[in-house]
Structure 1
């Protein structure tokens, strides 16, 4: 499961050019060449660039440059399928390098898998990564003494009036900081490009890539995961006549995104998180001490929950005495939330990270810089696509730049209103992670830039071909209702397939049932019955001796 881990790649390209693609289509061409072997380990992959307009409505503005990667079809080639891993801010180059075999298998092996670093991602695509600070020291000095660095401190499901008052007291401070942050981003080298970064631009870039590869009349095939499903929803509705084979997996609700501020709609994305937390502690209890370090002999899920709650309470109490403790309760929540994304990480969470956190909080070990950095970064970007440290460890703001540029116009929302949404989210939606902070979404009510083009519907166009919509039953950030909404809006043009498991996007857990469905769809357009339910493979163990079906059968029914 190494492909779920942090990938640190400084991608560059060798100068050799092996072939010229798509010259027979006219228009822009892609020169495919070898990837630099020191950064792209798989020598079967090809790399290249495509120039596109910065602004498709106004070509006089100038050009953008997209960095591309290609995995050749393993069978008889039927065209190309474009893949976006999500984020926003995920590097397609990195993920294809890590997941080539998975993606080729997913698409049946009969298409070249193409991906790219979207605008705002990496240092090869232009415009590239969005940095607003020179280094990490400047970032920490800017946010010193705020919840941006510590997370939100609360206990007892955020019912203590003292915790509520402490958070609300930070509202004017954080609002000013986010307004100043936006201005810093505007004044940075990235600032002049911010209005050209976003989902509509990504959609038009996909069309440009497809045109260059397969021709301007060919169907566009696309796989989008996580935020990549928002790109997909916009793509199939902006260009319904071009829809070929399209799979959306881990689906954002495009109606919510088109009508609500992200900073106020975040709680609706957390509806499965407490169930996933129960799944983690249930799997740990079933595995017992031999398979889960957090379990003692005879422990049930509630016993393990009590240990984790006690750990957070100890960190919370220490923070009240000393604001500079090495690990806050908010940081622990961030770690737990981030590790919900992939059941492949749950055993490591409970066997490696939990004991480390106990030692750090109890003062028995120095703060683990890797763990602290992980807690800081996990939430801004899905672990599948998170990149490593940038020069000087300066944090990337690409996620905010894309989400916020795409979101609804500013409505005068205050930070106090944002906080007053978070408090009931922790009380009623997710006791565990309702108070997670920071999250890229929350900056959007104070972000001054919107993209030159946005698509806010309709989302029920008639499509040239039927698409496949996938979701786990329990996804921590793109819960099942998002997929149900997209499938319902598209009616007969979409088929929903659910997976009876946990994690963010269906590939978080292996399912032969789902693999067979996607391969058949890509091979010949065959689709299963709508609302089909696939099981996770029984031989896949989440904890030692414990599979997904075991956890589902033993999930506690009481609130924890």
Structure 2
């Protein structure tokens, strides 16, 4: 889950005008809209056809050689970038079966390029294409962009690449307004969840086809090795945020000898089960909420008075009121508890946006949920005209359903809910019963959680943020401990991920590592 600096724009409001905001986060999804991110001044990119250099491909099975040596045409796009489509196998166990397409976008180095850095912003399901198109100057420094071409790509199943398709935009709006009546019994509520999951799974299977069974993280990591070859790099240089760290760690485990300079920021522990991931996030978001409330109460106009415990209780009461009786926003759309919490969580990804959350909370306490819906729409990448910029929600679910075995046993899910509520009285119950979603999936899980070691890889830089709500700090320590060559760096701060939104200490470490290969001392704290 990656936060994207650049600012949450204020919605058009009649009653007040929101001040400028320093940074934005959209539940790890890159914000859409070119106007949010001014273009960089640069020469037009070099374009044309290029084949992978045989000297950088490395040893690959014969049936994969055509993919590694394919001719890729980079054409001018998006005003100042170059774009290309790369073919990869649908099924790596049977490369001759069918092919799919990976969409890539390149920002050329402003100086003499010493190679290419692939970027993944997280998710799973976030668009690496969009992160480069809309925000390359926010997620990378001038130093990095001078030394490297930066390539963003949409992983298989995502957005411009061969993509998962489930609901239309109108159907997404309808789904976001659905809610379980507060008076329903547990059995009735579970039955409604199960039926909704079945309908959704059927739509995905019907509209996506067999691609739905091949959007797992291991296949996406194998795609990255083909991308490495077609940009003519003997080793992969990679900057991965949040889920991007799982993608990068998977690549390192598969191809340790092809790891170049790799930064994994906001790390995921690949040894955790889906249930353990959810539990860790529940506890981390609860801590982030408490940090936000404390910060709010340090000011003069906080709508959550009293102690931190009392402020958190006020938030919980607000959630309960929305769950009991969903409210309509100014545009007439119904805001259910799911949508409301989606909007609430968005600013927790970056403490620079906590004042935005305060404004939305104050409005909601006064009976107007429009501000919270605006934030939820940003998180869902919904434009005011009702269109959705990407398929991030569908891709997120499709990838997770292949990556993680999940329990759908009602008794076990009930026990898990108790544990979630104990860890997070505010968010825990809302995170429960996730296994219902994947139970009717047309394709079963193909991966199992497992630790990684990437024995023989060059030094890998792992970064953790002490107050990270989406990828708890402990996960970064666990990943660094598993990777044999890892060096761990800590940012003592709030919010999700560090590079691009923290301080010069982190920025200088990452830039020096990429530019000069300088490996920091393990355990550095910023």
Scaled to the shorter chain, the TM-score interval is 0.7 to 0.9
Distance 1:198 1:333 in 2: 28
Q: What's the offset of the Cα at 1:423?
A: 3.4
Q: 1:277 and 2:292 equivalent? A: no
The change in CA–CA distance for 1:55 and 1:69 in structure 2 (over 3 A counts) is same
Specify whether residues 318 and 121 from structure 1 end up closer, same or farther in structure 2 by C-alpha distance, changes over 3 A only. closer
Deviation at 1:166, TM superposition (A): 3.8
- Aligned-partner Cα distance in 2 for 1:169–1:416: 15
Match of 1:180 among 191, 194, 199: 199
1:120: which partner in 2?
157
- Any gaps of 5 or more consecutive residues in structure 1? 11-15, 38-42, 154-162, 535-560
2:490 is aligned, of 487, 490, 498, to: 498
Q: Deviations 1:426-451 (Å, cap 9, x if unpaired)?
A: 2x111221122599776234423147
Query: Which residue of structure 1 lines up, in the alignment, with residue 48 of structure 2?
Result: 19
Query: How far 1:315 moved relative to its partner?
Result: 3.4
Matched, 1:414 2:450: no
Q: Secondary structure at 1:222's aligned position in 2?
A: strand
C-alpha distance in structure 2 between counterparts of 1:490 and 1:219, whole Å: 18
Equivalences for residues 63-462 of structure 1 within 5 A = 63-105=99-141, 108-109=144-145, 110-122=147-159, 124-125=160-161, 127-128=162-163, 130-137=164-171, 140=174, 146-147=179-180, 166-167=185-186, 169-188=188-207, 190-215=208-233, 218-256=234-272, 260=273, 262-263=274-275, 265-289=277-301, 294=303, 301-302=308-309, 304-305=311-312, 307-316=314-323, 318=325, 326-329=334-337, 331-351=339-359, 353-360=360-367, 365=368, 368=370, 371-372=372-373, 374-375=375-376, 378=379, 386=381, 396-408=393-405, 413-426=408-421, 428-437=422-431, 443-450=437-444, 454=447, 457=450, 459-462=452-455
1:94-151 Cα shifts (integer Å, max 9, x gaps): 11122212344287332211111111111x31x22x232344348737x98644xx8x
**How many angstroms apart in 2 are the aligned matches of 1:442 and 1:287?**
42
Residues 178, 113 of structure 1: CA spacing in aligned structure 2 closer, same or farther, 3 A cutoff? same
Distance in 1 (CA, whole Å) between partners of 2:449 and 2:149 is 31
- Give the number of equivalent residue pairs: 472
CA deviation map 1:336-367 (0-9, x unaligned)? 2232112122111112x12332233xxxx5x5
Question: What TM-score does the superposition give when structure 1 sets the normalisation length?
Answer: 0.75
Residues in 2 aligned to 1:457 and 1:304: alpha-carbon distance in whole angstroms: 39
Question: Residue 74 of structure 2 contacts residue 83 of structure 2 at CA under 8 Å; is this kept in 1?
Answer: yes
Which of 8, 21, 32 aligns to 2:32? It is 8
Change beyond 3 A, Cα 1:281–1:87: same
CA contact (8 A) 2:347 2:356 kept: no
Once residues 495 and 319 of structure 1 are traced to their aligned partners in structure 2, the CA distance between those partners, rounded to angstroms, is 47
The CA deviation at 1:75 is 3.3
| Counterpart Cα distance in 2 of 1:211 and 1:318 | 55
Q: Does 1:523 align with 2:520?
A: no
Deviations 1:183-223 (A, max 9, x none): 221122x12211121211211111001111125xx111111
Deviation of 1:307 (Å): 4.2
SS at match of 2:342: helix
Question: What secondary structure, in the 3-state scheme, does the structure 2 residue paired with 1:49 have?
Answer: strand
Q: Cα RMSD between the aligned structures?
A: 3.4
Q: What is the 5 A alignment of 1:527-538?
A: 527-534=519-526
Do 1:81 and 1:112's aligned partners in 2 also have CA atoms closer than 8 Å?
Answer: yes
Mean Cα deviation higher: 503-512 or 86-95: 503-512
Task: Go from structure 1 to structure 2 and tell me whether the alpha carbon gap of 1:8 and 1:371 turns closer, same or farther (over 3 Å shift).
Answer: same
Q: Which range is displaced more, 441-450 or 200-209?
A: 441-450
Contact 1:220 1:242 in 2 (8 A): yes
| Residue 477 (structure 2) pairs with residue 484 (structure 1) | yes
Distance 1:463 1:46 in 2: 34
- For structure 1, which segment, 179-188 or 130-139, has the greater mean C-alpha deviation from structure 2 after superposition? 130-139
Contact 1:406 1:454 (C-alpha < 8 Å) held by counterparts: yes
**Using the alignment, how far apart are the partners of 2:78 and 2:378 within structure 1?**
28
